[in-house]
């Protein structure tokens, strides 16, 4: 059995052609729903006013935006954008022109402050349903924003100036007093300055004091860390064999002393010789070695007394010990540093006291003098900014009345809906195709079924107008009136293939049964037209309706179904139940009254006797049987007939159904002549199918 190894383009096109109505429906639904939705939507307009950022005359002007002090060197324009987008500023501006609080809040929610790239311009945009109203509102809000920034700026400048003047007066008076004091002190004492030794000693004292302050800060931080570590470790105190108090552990005492001494030594060398001196490098490496050894010792100790193997708590305990040792080292340093400070102060006392006093007075004077100069510069800037009365923002382009809405964009939305519907339709079609297990083409049958394809029958298009006047005929008996249709031509091909297959082999096959795997798929229609085709070719044909549940042949030929096969099976003669048709050479036995036990009647030996007797009088005995997978009637008949035609209907039968039906016939040793493909759509590929099976069936 050969399977198709790849899918060709024509297969995809065929799928689309077969389900094109679904795609059209999806496109129509998407488009109509979108069009209706857009029709009922209110149009939304947008308009914008443009503001320009003015360069301030002085830096004082920018203090209106106090965040500048926090942001530092952030781009000025980005800061303006951030502040103007503040809902409070916009709400204050909106409340000045709109009395209703709810409406003002609605307007604020629709305002957008945006940046015009590579310019000093900012746009204030507003959306709404009334173009005239939003134009007036956005212009008023833009002017209110400018006014608000101006008022805030001038207020800030005024407050700044008052503060600076007050500070300037206080520092100025203080400088005058200090200058007079220094002058009087020099005159009285006759001292002109400090010696170099005094400066060195003062620097050492300052450094020691700074180190104490830094150590105290580190100790406070370590206390916080130790409290956190201790709280965490208290959760598993039963898993720790030793005490939390690191100071009670003598194992680290030697390391603490050595590390502390090396650090103090390193500070002293750095202050005297600098960090590039060989002594500094030597002590630095010794200190690094000691600290590394201390870490190793702590890790080994943690492993030895931590019962729990949780690495988190082991790490916490390691950090706890390390922090405790570091704190102990800092505490020891702070105990030693005051002694050094005291020693340096004693050395300082040996120097002239008058020189020290003068140095202190001059230092205070220099600091206050620098502060005075800075405040004076700011005072000048505030005076310039107040005189200029500058605006940091200004409206350079008012909003204009919008003429067209920004949404809904009806044409665009409908186009998107059309494309979306088309895409959704295609996706839906291929999803349905993926889950649809029905047989789609004769090629699929040929590749999956081992039996010969005897014929391909297209979808029938009946035409009452082609039936000759004065003749009452069922339009499905297409072989009786439409000889040139593709269906008639295919039935003639099927007749030829059946005749060829029936006459080949060890003996000619006269009794032929047609069945399928599911009900209502056209077997009665096909067997009727095959019978007419054989009769028109000069054969004597008997058509038997053995479907004792859903008989149809009497309807096709317009014959009363009062007597028939049921009567014969119950004992009547065959000849009395044979009916003539309007076609020469074609007789029919209808089903007769439908019995309550069809299978029991057919399973008797009487059915075989009927077929044998009929074969003596007719060239072909064609039997219309029920579906083989629905009831057992077809299996019983299959074992009693010479050959079987198995009907497969596209888009209705699935390959599992067909295989199940064929297996049931094979189980009773039924002789399958071949399969007939029904309901082939007359697409662009139909002619290729027709030509393929027409000639292939002869060569099989």
Going by C-alpha positions, the residue among 55, 56, 52 that lies closest to residue 382 is 56
What digits encode the pLDDT tens for the residues 617-664? Answer: 999 999 999 999 888 888 999 989 999 999 998 888 888 889 999 999
Distances in Å between the Cα of 663 and the Cα atoms of 301, 485, 546, 649 are: 81, 35, 21, 18
Q: Which helix (H) or strand (E) holds 424?
A: helix 410-435
Per residue, the 3-state secondary structure of 565-605, as one string, reads HHHHHCCCCCHHHCEECCCCCEEEECCCCCCCCHHHHHCCH
**Dihedral sign from CA coordinates of 658, 663, 664, 669:** positive
Q: Residue 600: which of 631, 645, 622 has the closest Cα?
A: 631
Mean pLDDT, to the nearest integer, of 317-346? 81
Tell whether the model's pLDDT for residue 59 goes beyond 60. no
For 336-353, give the DSSP string: HHHHHHHHHHHHHHTS-H
Higher pLDDT residue, 507 or 112?
A: 112
What is the rounded average pLDDT for all residues in the chain?
Answer: 78
Model pLDDT, residue 533: 93
Structure tokens at 25: 């429906």
Q: Which residues, other chains included, contact 594 with Cβ-Cβ below 8 Å and sequence gap of 6+? A: 548, 549, 551, 566
Q: Which residues lie across from 115 on neighbouring strands?
A: 122
Label residue 77 by pLDDT band (50, 70, 90).
low
Nearest-angstrom CA–CA distance, 87 and 27: 44
Residues 379-389 pLDDT 10s = 677 766 666 56
Residue 87 has pLDDT above 80, yes or no: no
Sign, CA dihedral 591-593-598-602, equals: negative
Please name every residue paired with 47 in a beta bridge, in sequence order, or none if there are none.
126
What residue spans define the domains of the chain?
9-41+408-435, 196-350, 442-699
Question: What are the distances in angstroms from CA 293 to CA 33, 255, 267, 548?
Answer: 78, 8, 21, 103
Tokens of 80: 């303006």
The pTM for the full model equals 0.50
**What's the pLDDT score for residue 90?**
76
Backbone angles phi, psi at 52, to 5 degrees: -115, 140
Q: Which range is least confidently modeled, 65-69, 108-112, 569-573, 682-686?
A: 65-69
pLDDT tens for 8-27 read 677 778 778 878 889 999 99
Question: What confidence score (pLDDT) does residue 470 get?
Answer: 56
**CA trace torsion 33, 37, 40, 42 (10° rounding):** -160
Instruction: Give the residue from 256, 286, 287, 281 showing the smallest Cα distance to 269.
Output: 281
The second-level CATH assignment, the architecture, of 442-699 is 3-Layer(aba) Sandwich (3.40)
pLDDT for 67 equals 33
Locus of tokens 């060197």? 73
CA dist 569 → 116, 272, 616 (Å): 97, 131, 18
- For position 186, what pLDDT does the model report? 65
544: closest CA among 535, 553, 536? 553
DSSP state of 455: E
Cis peptide before 408 (omega within 30 of 0): yes
Q: How far is 515 from 624, CA to CA, in rounded Å?
A: 7
Helix (H) or strand (E) holding 556: helix 553-557
pLDDT tens for 419-474 read 999 999 999 988 888 887 788 778 888 888 889 899 998 877 766 666 666 566 77
């Amino acid at each position: 059995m050969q399977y198709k190894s790849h899918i060709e383009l024509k297969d995809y096109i065929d799928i689309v052609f077969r389900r094109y109505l679904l795609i059209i429906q999806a496109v129509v639904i998407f488009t109509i729903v979108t069009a209706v939705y857009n029709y009922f939507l209110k149009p939304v307009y947008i308009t914008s006013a443009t503001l320009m950022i003015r360069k301030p005359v002085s830096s004082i002007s920018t203090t209106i935006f106090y965040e500048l002090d926090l942001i530092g060197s952030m781009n000025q324009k980005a800061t303006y954008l951030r502040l103007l987008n503040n809902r409070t500023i916009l709400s204050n501006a909106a409340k000045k022109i709109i009395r209703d609080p709810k409406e003002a809040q609605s307007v604020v929610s629709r305002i957008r402050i945006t940046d015009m790239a590579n310019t000093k311009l900012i746009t204030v945009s507003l959306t709404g349903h009334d173009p005239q109203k939003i134009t007036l509102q956005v212009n008023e809000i833009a002017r209110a924003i400018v006014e608000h920034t101006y008022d805030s700026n001038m207020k800030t400048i005024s407050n700044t100036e008052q503060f600076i003047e007050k500070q300037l007066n206080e520092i100025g008076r203080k400088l005058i007093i200090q200058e007079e004091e220094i002058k009087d002190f020099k005159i009285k004492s006759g001292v002109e300055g400090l010696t170099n030794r005094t400066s060195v000693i003062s620097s050492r004292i300052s450094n020691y004091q700074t180190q104490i302050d830094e150590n105290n800060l580190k100790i406070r931080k370590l206390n916080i860390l130790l409290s956190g570590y201790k709280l965490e470790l208290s959760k598993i105190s039963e898993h720790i064999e030793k005490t939390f108090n690191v100071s009670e552990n003598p194992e680290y005492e030697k390391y603490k002393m050595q590390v502390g001494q090396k650090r103090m030594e390193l500070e002293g060398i750095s202050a005297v010789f600098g960090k590039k001196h060989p002594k500094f490098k030597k002590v630095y490496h010794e200190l690094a070695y000691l600290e590394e050894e201390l870490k190793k010792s702590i890790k080994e100790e943690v492993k030895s007394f931590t019962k729990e193997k949780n690495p988190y708590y082991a790490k916490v305990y390691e950090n706890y010990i390390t922090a405790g040792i570091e704190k102990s080292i800092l505490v020891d340093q702070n105990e030693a540093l005051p002694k050094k400070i005291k020693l340096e102060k004693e050395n300082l006392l040996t120097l002239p006291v008058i020189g020290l006093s003068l140095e202190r007075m001059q230092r205070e004077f220099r600091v206050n003098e620098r502060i005075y100069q800075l405040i004076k510069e700011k005072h000048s800037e505030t005076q310039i900014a107040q005189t200029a009365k500058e605006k940091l923002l200004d409206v350079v382009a008012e909003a204009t009345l919008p003429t067209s809405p920004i949404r809904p964009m009806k044409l665009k939305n409908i186009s998107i809906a059309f494309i979306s519907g088309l895409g959704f339709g295609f996706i839906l079609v291929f999803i349905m195709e993926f889950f649809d297990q029905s047989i789609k083409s004769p090629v699929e049958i040929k590749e999956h079924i081992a039996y010969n394809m005897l014929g391909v029958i297209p979808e029938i298009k009946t035409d009452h107008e082609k039936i000759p006047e004065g003749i009452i005929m069922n339009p499905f008996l297409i072989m009786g009136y439409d000889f040139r249709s593709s269906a008639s031509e295919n039935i003639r091909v099927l007749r030829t293939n059946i005749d060829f297959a029936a006459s080949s082999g060890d003996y000619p096959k006269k009794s032929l049964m047609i069945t399928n795997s599911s009900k209502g798929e056209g077997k009665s229609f096909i067997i009727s037209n095959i019978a007419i085709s054989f009769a028109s070719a000069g054969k004597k044909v008997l058509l038997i309706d053995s479907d004792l549940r859903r008989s149809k042949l009497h309807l096709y030929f317009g014959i009363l179904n009062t007597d028939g096969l049921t009567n014969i099976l119950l004992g009547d003669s065959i000849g009395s139940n044979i009916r003539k048709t309007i076609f020469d050479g074609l007789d029919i036995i209808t089903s007769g009254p439908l019995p309550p036990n069809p299978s029991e009647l057919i399973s008797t030996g009487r059915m075989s006797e009927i077929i044998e007797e009929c074969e003596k009088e007719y060239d072909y005995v064609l039997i219309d049987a029920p579906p083989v997978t629905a009831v057992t009637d077809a299996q019983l008949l299959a074992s009693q007939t010479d050959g079987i035609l198995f009907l497969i209907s596209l888009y209705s039968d699935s390959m599992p159904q067909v295989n199940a039906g064929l297996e049931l016939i094979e189980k009773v040793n039924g002789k399958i002549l071949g399969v007939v493909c029904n309901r082939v759509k007359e697409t662009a590929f139909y002619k290729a199918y027709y030509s393929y099976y027409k000639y292939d069936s002869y060569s099989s």
